[in-house]
């Protein structure tokens, strides 16, 4: 009987699934968390708006289609509100895109390495991952991706975890060469690099994905949004949960967009600090830091064991990200925090490296 030992209760592809592993969440106080590329800053005006919205009205369901938020996004990015959908983090929109476009066995292409959730979501759907290797300097394999011409292609731009920016000409070449949907995951584009937004009017197969988790410091609220053709966006609306973005998150998103200039200033400073930390790591320890257009750096450690450094930092209550994956296992990915956090990181590394 299958009921007695659990066999047959769960789909085989889910039983075999290697689940996504999020960055470690520290318990207790005093930690410096540089392992998930969160922003060190949240605008006080956002916090005040959320506090004001936490009233008896929370008994009501939220706006199912994020009207106020989409009006603001439309004005900011010059894309009609009917071509925008908001999600419970951009992670939810990735799920919806896969469910809408890729059936069982369909190919989903992405670069290797890239955001490892793409592969996990593909496996959940029983679709087929096609991982196309990046060049040895993390260049986009434009020709190879076009040759695959998958029904769905994910491009992380700027790239994570390397931080590499890709020119619009390359993004357009992939879009023009593929007949399937091409999703540009621009989670980090507010810190630098080209956006593919200008392709939206010419290519119905383009989706641009953004998040408020990075540049707007709202990872804890869960808010992402996608821009695309009416055909693709309409499909996502039809399959999403009715109330996928809660009321306080919608309020926070509107307030964050209203604080645009403040965030732009802070994020420019973060980019300057990123470049300063990168030069310090090169100068003090001789490490290779890949050029980054994001709020993190990928640091290649030739003269020491990267995983050991990550463990030693953890003993000092500093979390950075280590990936035990090909091409990344000699590196650590470090989010750019506040001035004080970066000073503490550098001091800790001075101690670790003797």
- At its nearest, how many Å lie between ligand PLP and the CB of residue 223? 7
Nearer to ligand PLP, 154 or 285 (CB): 154
CA nearest to 87, candidates 191, 293, 241 = 241
- At its nearest, how many Å lie between ligand PLP and the CB of residue 95? 10
- At its nearest, how many Å lie between ligand PLP and the CB of residue 198? 20
- At its nearest, how many Å lie between ligand PLP and the CB of residue 350? 29
Q: Which two tokens stand for residue 206?
A: 């383009």
- At its nearest, how many Å lie between ligand PLP and the CB of residue 59? 27
Nearer to ligand PLP, 142 or 160 (CB): 160
Phi, psi of 298 (to 5 degrees): -105, 120
Residues in the chain: 354
Point out the residue whose Cβ comes nearest to ligand PLP. Answer: 89
Nearer to ligand PLP, 180 or 217 (CB): 217
- At its nearest, how many Å lie between ligand PLP and the CB of residue 159? 8
Q: What is the DSSP string of 64-127?
A: TT-HHHHHHHHHHHT--GGGEEEESHHHHHHHHHHHHH--TT-EEEEEESS-THHHHHHHHTT-
- At its nearest, how many Å lie between ligand PLP and the CB of residue 37? 6
CA nearest to 190, candidates 124, 257, 240, 103 = 257
Q: Alpha helices, DSSP H only, in the chain?
A: 2-5, 12-15, 44-53, 67-77, 89-101, 117-124, 142-148, 168-177, 230-239, 247-258, 260-285, 306-315, 339-352
Nearer to ligand PLP, 69 or 349 (CB): 69
Nearer to ligand PLP, 95 or 348 (CB): 95
Q: What is the rounded CA–CA span in Å between residue 74 and residue 107? A: 32
Nearer to ligand PLP, 96 or 349 (CB): 96
Interacting residues toward ligand PLP by CB under 6 A: 37, 89-91, 115, 156, 160, 185, 187, 211, 213, 219, 224
Nearer to ligand PLP, 90 or 162 (CB): 90
Q: What is the rounded CA–CA span in Å between residue 253 and residue 212? A: 7
Is there a contact between 22 and 308 (Cβ–Cβ < 8 Å)? no
């Amino acid at each position: 009987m299958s009921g007695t030992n659990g066999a047959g209760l769960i789909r085989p592809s889910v039983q075999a699934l290697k689940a996504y592993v999020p960055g470690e969440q520290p318990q207790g106080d005093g930690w410096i968390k540089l392992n998930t590329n969160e922003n060190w800053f949240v605008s006080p005006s956002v916090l005040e708006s959320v506090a004001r919205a936490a009233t008896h009205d929370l008994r009501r369901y939220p706006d199912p289609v994020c009207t106020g938020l989409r009006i603001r996004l439309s004005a900011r990015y010059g894309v009609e509100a009917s071509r925008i959908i908001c999600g419970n983090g951009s992670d939810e929109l990735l799920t919806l895109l896969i469910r809408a476009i890729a059936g069982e066995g369909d190919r989903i292409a992405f670069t290797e390495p890239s955001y490892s959730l793409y592969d996990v979501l593909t496996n959940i759907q029983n679709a087929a991952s096609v991982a196309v290797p990046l060049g040895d300097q993390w260049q986009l394999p434009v020709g190879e991706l076009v040759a695959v011409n998958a029904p769905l292609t994910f491009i992380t731009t700027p790239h994570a975890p390397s931080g590499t920016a890709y020119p619009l000409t390359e993004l357009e070449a992939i879009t023009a060469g593929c007949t399937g949907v091409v999703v540009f995951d621009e989670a980090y584009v507010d810190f630098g690099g080209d956006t593919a937004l200008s392709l939206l009017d010419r290519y119905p197969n383009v989706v641009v994905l953004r998040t408020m988790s990075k540049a707007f410091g709202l990872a804890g609220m869960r808010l992402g949004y996608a821009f695309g053709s009416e055909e693709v966006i309409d499909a996502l609306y039809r399959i999403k949960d009715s109330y996928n973005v809660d009321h306080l998150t919608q309020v926070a998103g509107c307030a964050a967009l209203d604080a645009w200039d403040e965030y732009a200033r802070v994020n420019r400073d973060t980019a300057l600090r990123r470049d300063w930390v990168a030069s310090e790591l090169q100068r003090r320890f001789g490490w290779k830091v890949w050029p980054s257009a994001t709020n993190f750096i990928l640091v290649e450690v030739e003269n020491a064991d990267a995983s050991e450094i990550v463990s030693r930092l953890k003993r000092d209550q500093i979390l950075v990200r280590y990936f035990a994956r090909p091409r990344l296992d000699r590196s650590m990915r470090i989010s750019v925090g506040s001035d004080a956090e970066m000073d503490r990181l550098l001091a800790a590394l001075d101690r670790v490296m003797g």
